[in-house]
Amino acid sequence: MIRLISILFTSIPAALWLTLVLLADGDDYYWPVYIITCGVFLGVSLVIGFMGPTFFPQSFRRHPGLWIFAQGTLAWIAAVMVLGLLNLTPMCVGQDNGDGNNDLVMCVVQTMLVALVYSPLEFILLLPAAIAGGLVLRKLNS
């Protein structure tokens, strides 16, 4: 039961990001990169949410909200790394952006800007999920 609750609360922000990207219905060259990145984000969130309570069960029971926040942060870091890797491929480099073709520097800068702009929003989404998940898990453990 602890694993299922951990999966649920760790993956809530990733599910919201994927939903927003899918609902945006963009037809620009960069939308497939964001769809793949959000899909990986959700997948990594599910795996980390499942594995977290297994590796550190005593610590997870003492500080479940902190662990959910840490798991979500690790999943976000993995998603940003995937975005960076995808932006090094022809999915970004060489694409026509309407003002010329993207070069490698432009794609790297885009990755850094996405990480800088969206990380605070991710943590704003993750914090209530971690607090709620921590409260639920504490109630379950008592």
Q: For residue range 79-107, what is the model confidence (pLDDT) as tens digits?
A: 999 999 999 999 888 888 888 888 899 99
Which single residue is written with the structure tokens 């029971």?
61
Does residue 16 surpass a pLDDT of 80?
Answer: yes
pTM of the model: 0.90
At residue 57, the pLDDT reads: 79
Residue 77: Cβ within 10 Å count: 13
At residue 45, the pLDDT reads: 95
CA distance 74 to 115: 14
Which single residue is written with the structure tokens 């649920």?
8
Nearest to 119 by CA among 130, 127, 107, 108: 127
CA distance 101 to 127: 38
